[in-house]
Amino acid sequence: MLSRRNFLWSSGASLALSGFPVHGWTKELPRGRVVVIVLEGGMDGLAAVPPLGDTDLHQMRGELITSAPIALNPFFGLHPSLGGFGRMLHNGEAAIVHATAFPYTKRSHFEGQNVVQSGNMVPFASKSGWLGRALEFAGLPGRALSMDMPLISRGEADVDNYYPASIRGSTKPSATLTNLLSAYHSEQISKVFDKIAAKNALKEGPVARDNVSLAKYAGAKMALDEGPAAAVITLGEFDTHADQRADNGRHHRQLSKVDDILLGFKTGLKDRWKDTVILTLTEFGRTVKVNGSTGTDHGYGSAGLLAGGLLKGGAVISQWPGLRKKDLFEERDLQSSIDYRSVCAACLEKAYGLDHDLIANNIFQSPRLPRFYNHLFV
């Protein structure tokens, strides 16, 4: 039998669910659901969605172009390891935004990851994340299910998280014990012991270790009326400095995990799929040129993959900046011609019914953030 340690944690991916409605909710619950798949390390948009119609592509990175792309339109192809996503696109329930990024250009993983999760353009300046703040504005600052809350889903207010422990041969603490610890400790830690005391014993079965099951599980939770309004799946190892290759390399194994996760969510969400939008989020794209080890180094512009029944769907949305040296950011990276914050904002607007100006002002602190809603949802 699988141990509970593997709960919410499969091969290389971890899950956090948040925005469970607070008990005793009286208003009508919003139906919309947002899933963010965080691709850590820098996803190569040019490998996932190669612009095959751009004649410079072959010259710049011939050995990284897949030999069997799925044709999307005369210009863009899709990597075959995203076959499931390709079918969603065909059915009009997915979209791609290409040549896009958060306007962060310094190519550090840790600053970049912090920026794309916090939604604050100054690295390490914010203790909360854009998704967490959106849940608060939507009135859903409930509990979260994860061992460590990813920054993106942290709100300004304190959110309780839970994640069943598995330490054999131990006894669950009694309320007396946690009350004693709560009374003794200083405020911040004291609150935590109160939460342990208040937590209901969870009767969760184990979840299988693969990504599909993890996503199905999350989808099924989100399908419930009182289920979580947001899920964040973190998937690492996109930092393919070496051995990225064209077909069976490291990057493409990661892309098939994304494909599995998308399909898993669709299965798990059932009817709720039509109220859901899923989007990928990565700190930056990768260099256009191949490096010395069939890989790529840190870049700027990348692609965003979106799926879910809320989308108008079916299209690759891009203002293609070109791949000639003079077209590239600092003569090396794909430019970003669409601010990805606008894409995130549009998803929040659609799923949680928040006003664009509120999102721009209060969630991304950028009053002039362009509204991208019509490209995705109308």
Is residue 163 near another protein by the rule CB under 8 A? yes
Residue among 33, 40, 229, 340 that touches another protein (CB under 8 A): 40
Is residue 167 near another protein by the rule CB under 8 A? yes
Taking CB under 8 A as the binding criterion, the range among 65-73, 195-203, 261-269, 341-349 that sits at the site for another protein is 195-203
Is residue 90 near another protein by the rule CB under 8 A? no
Taking CB under 8 A as the binding criterion, the range among 94-102, 188-196, 267-275, 345-353 that sits at the site for another protein is 188-196
Residue among 2, 5, 122, 274 that touches another protein (CB under 8 A): 5
Positions in 119-158 near another protein (CB under 8 A): 147-149
Write down the least CB distance from residue 14 to another protein, Å: 11
Q: Is 6 left (phi over 0), alpha (psi -120 to 50) or beta?
A: alpha
3-state helix/strand/coil string of the chain: CCCHHHCCEECCEEEEEECCCCCCCCCCCCCCEEEEEEECCCCCHHHHCCCCCCCHHHHHHHHHCCCCCEECCCCCEECHHHHHHHHHHHCCCEEEEEEEECCCCCCCHHHHHHHHHHCCCCCCCCCCCHHHHHHHHCCCCCCEECCCCCHHHCCCCCCCEECCCCCCCCCCCCHHHHHHHHHHCCHHHHHHHHHHHHCCCCCCCCCCCCHHHHHHHHHHHHHCCCCCCEEEEEECCCCCCCCCCCCCCHHHHHHHHHHHHHHHHHHHHHHHHHHEEEEEEECCCEECCCCCCCCCCECCCEEEEEECCCCCCCCEEECCCCCCHHHCECCCECCCCEEHHHHHHHHHHHHHCCCHHHHHHHHCCCCCCCCCHHHHHC
Is residue 104 near another protein by the rule CB under 8 A? no
Write down the least CB distance from residue 321 to another protein, Å: 19
The residue among 54 and 297 lying less far from another protein, judged by its C-beta, is: 297
Alpha carbon distance 95, 278 (integer Å)? 10
Residue among 193, 265, 273, 372 that touches another protein (CB under 8 A): 193
Is residue 200 near another protein by the rule CB under 8 A? no
Place of tokens 């991208």: 372
The residue among 177 and 220 lying less far from another protein, judged by its C-beta, is: 177
Residue among 33, 79, 107, 286 that touches another protein (CB under 8 A): 107
Is residue 253 near another protein by the rule CB under 8 A? no
Residue among 53, 59, 156, 172 that touches another protein (CB under 8 A): 172
Write down the least CB distance from residue 340 to another protein, Å: 21
Taking CB under 8 A as the binding criterion, the range among 160-168, 261-269, 270-278, 367-375 that sits at the site for another protein is 160-168
The residue among 132 and 309 lying less far from another protein, judged by its C-beta, is: 132
- CB count, 10 Å around CB of 289? 17
Residue among 56, 210, 237, 327 that touches another protein (CB under 8 A): 237
Number of chain positions touching another protein (CB under 8 A)? 57
Radius of gyration of the chain (CA): 21
Is residue 58 near another protein by the rule CB under 8 A? no
Residue among 29, 223, 242, 358 that touches another protein (CB under 8 A): 242
Is residue 110 near another protein by the rule CB under 8 A? yes
Residue among 106, 270, 274, 325 that touches another protein (CB under 8 A): 106
140: its two tokens: 């859903």
Which residues contact another protein (rule: CB under 8 A)? 5, 12, 40, 63, 106-111, 147-149, 160-163, 165-174, 176-178, 180-181, 184-186, 188-189, 192-193, 195-196, 199, 236-237, 239, 241-243, 290-295, 297-298, 330
